[in-house]
Amino acid sequence: MSDKQGRNDSCWCGSGRKYKKCHALIEEKMAIYRSKACEVPPLGLLKTQQQIQGIRDSGKLNIDLLDFIGDYVVAGVTTGELDRLIYEKTGELGGIPATLNYNGYPKSVCISINDVVCHGIPSERVILRSGDIANIDVSTIYNGFFSDSSRMFCVGDVSAEKQRLVDVAKECMELGIEQIKPWGFLGDVGQAVHDHARKNGYSVVREIGGHGIGLQFHEDPWVSYVSKQGTGMLLVPGLVFTVEPMINMGKAGTATDERDNWTVYTADGEPSAQWEKTVLVTETGYEILAY
Ligand code: MF3
Ligand code: CO
């Protein structure tokens, strides 16, 4: 983009600033990191102001859907019913559920209960019971822009042990997000998540991670939550990705259901918890686009 653009022209990103006062500076800095053999994102991953607004609007819808579904998460409801509610509400709000028919995924939401780590498929045969912890993972396409976030819901009376897992998993996500700043590294996020989980006696799922998002459901970078500080992709303003660590009460290992090829369980049958936000790297830190 730099070669098509004069230094006094307004920047391609839509900031309203001259290129020389905006991405010329950012691109110069990226070149310095590249020369030091850092993993620098391609310019195409950096969102324009217009794209950011699109993802923000999509994220607003995603937030509204999670706020909406909360009232229905009670003992006795089937996850199939919750899926139907999400499907209908998404349509009412003018969006499309991003998971529906995605790589053959059959439903509008993922609902993962207890020892299900992620990608639980809603079903009329799965009934929520008091004591369950459930992750509800909603993702939306709105005006062509993608957003993705998830929350844990505690059904009825949940044991103190499971409640602590849910709380610590949330702290892990939050501590990871607090690491996000321009010219930091993606590995800073994973290190903070992993440290906090281990300090609390939990483990972090290694083989499933977060992802870039915005123009597509899953973009680069892939986001590990067991990564090391100062490693991985350079964080540059305009990058958008999810922070969604999966925290296991027992061991980190997982197994995928051989019948549906989607549902991921903990290998040891112990519970797992996950929270997810879609986050933008800004010039001063970060902005949450969906939670
Ligand atoms: N929200 C999940 C994610 O983190 C959705 C996975 S794709 C699905 O990307 F098809 F399983 F839903
Ligand atoms: Co996601």
Among 90, 148, 262, which residue has the most ligand 1 atoms within 8 Å of its CB, making it the best to mutate? 148
139 lines ligand 1 (CB under 6 A): yes
Give the lowest-confidence range in 4-8, 113-117, 124-128, 254-258: 4-8
Question: How much is the pLDDT for 271?
Answer: 99
CATH topology for 46-290? Creatine Amidinohydrolase (3.90.230)
1 pLDDT more than 90? no
148 lines ligand 1 (CB under 6 A): yes
How many C-beta atoms lie closer than 10 Å to residue 260's C-beta? Answer: 13
Domain ranges for the chain, please list them: 1-37, 46-290
224 pLDDT more than 60? yes
105 lines ligand 1 (CB under 6 A): yes
Residue nearest to atom 11 of ligand 1 (CA): 119
Q: What is the pTM of this model?
A: 0.97
Q: Which is it for strands 240-243 and 277-281: parallel, antiparallel or unpaired? A: antiparallel
The C-alpha atoms of residue 72 and residue 74 are separated, in whole angstroms, by 6
140 lines ligand 1 (CB under 6 A): no
Quote the percentage of the chain above a pLDDT of 90.
98
Distance 211 CA to ligand 2 centre (A): 6
CA torsion through residues 154, 99, 235, 190, sign: positive
Question: How much is the pLDDT for 4?
Answer: 74
